[in-house]
Structure 1
């Protein structure tokens, strides 16, 4: 990274840290500013691994200022941004990363829902809804409903395992739904409301071929079935319910305005026939299924949902459902529309079907493969759910598409785990690291004793023997006659294809510029580190085997990892979290 780019990063970080500190009237957090920093400066993203180290001193400097100094500095660097904050301060009550929900009735409370389609486990983008709804629930002391919208057994066919996998993902994020509902358990309720809608003159059965109806609709012309009497409509709808039609032969439409300026709102389908049985035994008998706009609209009312968050691309859904609500005399919930979230760093798209295909083809090992952009993958890598939630919250609810920088998730996670995570050595053997180089130690102690944590000497030290020789990464090997500092052991000189111990005077590092490297015993345990870029094999220090599966370690000079499988006689496995 050149000096000019570093200076730009530091300046942008200072502005964001100042804004964060002033807005929240507290110390700025590295994790909290990573999202805005990356979102406003896409060119920084390729340096995501380096940025936390660059901006931490900047954040510390900002946190050393008092409130007035911070405001004075913002006024100097970004006066327009200071005016924005002051305007927000005047217009807002309680400060929060998320905007206030509109028209909250304090007497009735807030009741919100996530409505996943259980056609697979969650990718990272899915977590945004649960993160925001769960946060609003806590903020307003409201209710969180998880409703599985599983009424399409064909094109978005439910995966029976996905129901529990999605609930596990919500739990991982730190939330617990107040109620869990499966739409496929409520088909009879949708039938009853369809019958009521027919009685209200709001629906009719239609057997027009799809293409023929589309032509009529686009021309603002009614189909010949639109004026059927209610008795005939009831009769034909019951025949639909009883499975007497083939797929595509008959639908039930909501009567709207056939000349509406938006053709998408003209007489839309409420029920259709699907011959493919539902995978859930409790629902496999049904062939007449509600479309999502009808099912979701009815459920939002019956479940007392007060506020809905949905994508900006689904604005027509609210307008279609409003026709149904008008027939029934219901009041529509408040709606917040937001843009899509895009996630950097992954080669795999945020698509349940794409991820499923890659798993089926063997290109991914499963939903928790470290290369998969999924919630399960983050959890297996040792990333806390709170780190993802905090990053999602910082994105807000803008109607514009937003970018989630994984570096902001990593920064959040680093703050959550760093203090409690022990250190360890892992030496990588791949060609990109110069391969493994083994050397005997001549003279010196029989073991190195680096601290378990550099900031907590009271935790003690780990003993790493050197009597069998040591291994380092080839790129760290100094030329013959030159020195290198084996971290936690001391200074050695590379001579006669061995390392000769030359002392433990740290001035060799501080004043003479001797490189500090990590190392492991030559007979240390084999370990495979699973990463987003593929598996990395090598040798770890023996103490790694004394931990438990699921424990976190920071492999010094490499990054944090979660221990996945420990094997003293074979190869242990860890999942790389982040630098």
Structure 2
């Protein structure tokens, strides 16, 4: 790399390192700098192998400054970026828009209505995050209702009920009420009977294909004008299990000439021969369709505001027919677009994840490669970081994109101040070391001198990462130890004057002793990584969030006899 390019890289890297450090009020991170640096400067990409070393030196300089010095330097170098940070600080904290017509209700009551066919993927977190936040905004109520009335195509997973409640707890919310629709079949039957008596429903034995042709042409089903008594008799036979799947359904009578065919005489109940997996519900064979069941429950549980996908607008229109028959007032509805999440190569689908686990492509729901809440939790992502990210998307009717980098940035703010620092060397190269002190003493946390320093024995040899091995005759700075020169396949100590880093561009690298170290397996979204950590890492306990310097934050998953497993969180 020529000097002109090196200077330009240093200037751009300093700008991004300062921005990163000032924004999070912590040390800058090489990984966080590399992304925007390379994205904004594509001409740097052919030199990608050399640039991290240059960036490391710049980051070390920035991390040697205090917060005030960083702000002042950023103002000199990139005042527009400093203005951007200051304007962010001044923004109103309320991200969610006000709910409509709140004053019409004594209490805001909202519901999350999961289908318990498996643990939640990341996209599922949006609903409880937003509803839970609205509950706090309005001092309202948050209902969790398991819509588990399809024991066949969306068959409930018995473990998912508790798993979903556990995920909601992890996100930081406690439901005021928890209901299972499969416990409420008799309630739905009673309302179906009342609807029949009101002339609002009829039993239909048309085949699905025959009814579809009639519906699409706007012609009434021949069963539509049955008297309520006949319909009631056949409905009771349905309840008693005298019909098999596909033989007869109960339809809500709407407008057979409605401009939207999807709203014409929709099915309210159908027979499913497959028993429900819950023992309490396995006796039932007549099951309500979701639009009927959900509509009844929303009214009976006092729901005032519903959030649902923009693609489900027809649900409100179908349910409105039922509400009109009962003379009920429909809740307020907020429609939003889908959330799309980057980073994962796995489809955000419960059924897809189930299949990948069954095929052995994923180890389980908490595999770091799985786009699930359980995975994020095991990786050490705080529920608060997910909630903040989801709430930040608002409730737009447009589809929205969630960059996982946003979740990671939020999480970094939550854990950075408490996370102790350690060195982890991946695929270490062992190099003899001579002439220096017996040990290095990097700080436990660079922003908290009062926490003291670690002690890393140097011994006769150290481990460094392959990309950090310098060219013969060049120097590197072993962080917390001092400056060493590389010659004849060995390192020789040459001093402890930090000015060689600040003024001469000597790269700062991390290291581990060749003998006294801890074997670490780091599980990542790209696969497992083996490494060796400094001995003090053996004192970290399970669930601790720590930072492997120049690698990233991890959650400690297990510690056993100088062997540890960690889950990579983020840079």
TM-score by length of 1: 0.85
Partner Cα distance (2:71, 2:214) in 1: 67
- 5 Å-filtered alignment, 1:141-220, equals 141-220=139-218
Give the structure 1 partner of residue 361 of structure 2: 363
Contact 2:379 2:567 in 1 (8 A): yes
Partner Cα distance (2:461, 2:93) in 1: 58
Q: Rate the CA distance shift 1:29–1:547 in 2: closer, same or farther, 3 A.
A: closer
Is 1:119 the counterpart of 2:117? The answer is yes
Contact 2:105 2:304 in 1 (8 A): no
Per-residue deviation at 1:544? 1.2
Equivalent residue pairs, number: 524
Partner Cα distance (1:437, 1:315) in 2: 60
- Provide the alpha-carbon RMSD of the alignment: 3.3
Unmatched 5+ residue regions in structure 1?
15-26, 32-42, 75-80, 430-435
Give the structure 2 partner of residue 463 of structure 1: 455
Give the structure 2 partner of residue 477 of structure 1: 469
Please give the per-residue CA displacement for 1:218-262, whole angstroms capped at 9, x wherever unaligned: 000011100111111111111111111110101000000000000
Query: Which of 467-476 and 365-374 deviates more?
Result: 467-476
Please give the per-residue CA displacement for 1:531-568, whole angstroms capped at 9, x wherever unaligned: 11111111111111111100011000010000001122
Per-residue deviation at 1:113? 0.4
Is 1:230 the counterpart of 2:228? The answer is yes
Contact 1:30 1:412 in 2 (8 A): no
Contact 1:449 1:464 in 2 (8 A): yes
Give the structure 2 partner of residue 501 of structure 1: 493
Is 1:531 the counterpart of 2:524? The answer is yes
Quick one: which of 272, 275, 278 aligns to 2:276?
Answer: 278
Contact 2:434 2:460 in 1 (8 A): no
Is 1:561 the counterpart of 2:559? The answer is no
Q: Rate the CA distance shift 1:451–1:394 in 2: closer, same or farther, 3 A.
A: same
Please give the per-residue CA displacement for 1:17-59, whole angstroms capped at 9, x wherever unaligned: xxxxxxxxxx98799xxxxxxxxxxx88x99xx99x99x999x
Give the structure 2 partner of residue 354 of structure 1: 352
* SS in structure 1 at match of 2:416: helix
Partner Cα distance (1:428, 1:505) in 2: 27
Q: Rate the CA distance shift 1:377–1:62 in 2: closer, same or farther, 3 A.
A: farther
- 5 Å-filtered alignment, 1:411-560, equals 411-429=409-427, 436-523=428-515, 524-560=517-553
* SS in structure 1 at match of 2:215: helix
- 5 Å-filtered alignment, 1:124-135, equals 124-135=122-133
Unmatched 5+ residue regions in structure 2?
27-38, 46-51
Give the structure 2 partner of residue 103 of structure 1: 101
Give the structure 2 partner of residue 333 of structure 1: 331
* SS in structure 1 at match of 2:375: helix
Contact 2:198 2:325 in 1 (8 A): yes
Contact 1:203 1:255 in 2 (8 A): yes
Is 1:266 the counterpart of 2:264? The answer is yes
Per-residue deviation at 1:63? 13
* SS in structure 1 at match of 2:103: coil
* SS in structure 2 at match of 1:539: strand
Partner Cα distance (1:241, 1:28) in 2: 62
Partner Cα distance (1:244, 1:427) in 2: 69
